[in-house]
């Protein structure tokens, strides 16, 4: 695997001034940081100002990602942002985040359409999957999930979200494993638990495709990641980086995370 990927998801935060200051702070703080790929995902309205604030760092040391996209390139979809609109600005697009699944009722069919839309526009899809409750050993061997289980079953999410995605297309897919019970709670998964789950995700990818594809897919951990615990995840060879939320809104904290991951 190549360098770790550190993605900062700013979610619905920052004013224009805040976004520029935050991006500038991260840019300055990571000038001498090598060995990680840094991705910032500001609100869509700030993508261009953040790109301008990054200047020469844009696409060299720091890439941009969209927090969401629509699945069509254009049309009568008021308020939506298409992958075609942002493909010359962004390299990545977060798709299927648990908050969109929960509050905006995005199901696996919608998520799958968005993955296809991203890939058709040469964007790397950061596909988020995660369970509401910790997966116990008893549940590990369960077969076809019941209707009640489907929303919570990460393997069902994975399979349905990747329908029609070929092995070649998987080269531009990153999986972000984000246990929902850890997001924003200040109680992250342990490194051991995250590794166990990510290995099981790779097993499922291998079942869908093959082990060569599974071993080449980058899988990130997300959920209450900070500079205090990032090495518990990036220090594991099975984990290829992190998707950070709240910690990415503080320039010094996010820079420290990048520095630690680089070491």
Q: Which of 37, 131, 178, 232 is catalytic?
A: 178
Catalytic residue at 138?
no
Q: Comparing C-alpha atoms, which of 154, 161, 175 is closest to residue 241?
A: 175
Beta carbons of 197 and 129 less than 8 angstroms apart: no
- As given in the structure block, the two tokens for residue 13 are 């935060």
Q: Which of 37, 97, 99, 106 is catalytic?
A: 97
Helix%, strand%, coil% for the chain, nearest 5: 45, 15, 40
CA dihedral 14, 20, 23, 26 (to 10 degrees): -100
- As given in the structure block, the two tokens for residue 255 are 């820079």
Compute the distance between CA of residue 29 and CA of residue 254 in angstroms, rounded to an integer. Answer: 9
Compute the distance between CA of residue 243 and CA of residue 14 in angstroms, rounded to an integer. Answer: 18
Compute the distance between CA of residue 36 and CA of residue 241 in angstroms, rounded to an integer. Answer: 9
Beta carbons of 121 and 83 less than 8 angstroms apart: yes
- As given in the structure block, the two tokens for residue 61 are 């040391």
Q: Comparing C-alpha atoms, which of 67, 64, 66 is closest to residue 53?
A: 64
Sign of CA pseudo-dihedral 51, 53, 54, 56 = positive
Question: Burial, 27: exposed, middle or buried (Cβ in 10 Å; 0-12, 13-18, 19+)?
Answer: buried
Catalytic residue at 232?
no
> Known catalytic residues?
97, 178
């Amino acid at each position: 695997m190549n360098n770790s990927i550190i993605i900062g998801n700013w979610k619905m935060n920052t004013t224009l001034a805040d976004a520029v200051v935050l991006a500038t702070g991260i840019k300055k703080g990571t000038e001498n940081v090598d060995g990680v790929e840094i991705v910032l995902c500001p609100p869509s309205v700030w993508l261009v100002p953040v790109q301008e604030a990054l200047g020469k760092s844009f696409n060299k040391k720091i890439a941009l990602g969209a927090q969401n996209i629509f699945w069509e390139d254009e049309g009568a979809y008021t308020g939506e942002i298409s992958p075609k609109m942002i493909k010359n600005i962004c390299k990545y697009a977060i798709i299927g985040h648990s908050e969109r699944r929960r509050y905006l009722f995005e199901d696996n069919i919608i998520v799958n359409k968005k993955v296809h839309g991203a890939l058709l526009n040469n964007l790397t899809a950061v596909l988020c999957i995660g369970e509401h409750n910790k997966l116990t050993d008893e549940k590990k061997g369960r077969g076809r999930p019941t209707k009640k289980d489907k929303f919570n079953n990460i393997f069902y999410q994975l399979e349905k979200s990747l329908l029609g995605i070929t092995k070649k297309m998987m080269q531009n897919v990153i999986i972000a494993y984000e246990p929902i019970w850890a997001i924003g709670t200040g109680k992250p998964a342990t490194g051991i638990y995250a590794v166990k789950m990510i290995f099981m995700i790779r097993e499922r990818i291998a079942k869908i495709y093959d082990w060569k594809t599974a071993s080449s897919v980058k899988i990130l951990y997300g959920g209450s990641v900070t500079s205090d615990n990032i090495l518990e995840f990036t220090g594991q060879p099975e984990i290829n980086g992190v998707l950070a939320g709240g910690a990415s809104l503080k320039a010094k904290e996010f820079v420290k995370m990048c520095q630690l991951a680089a070491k």
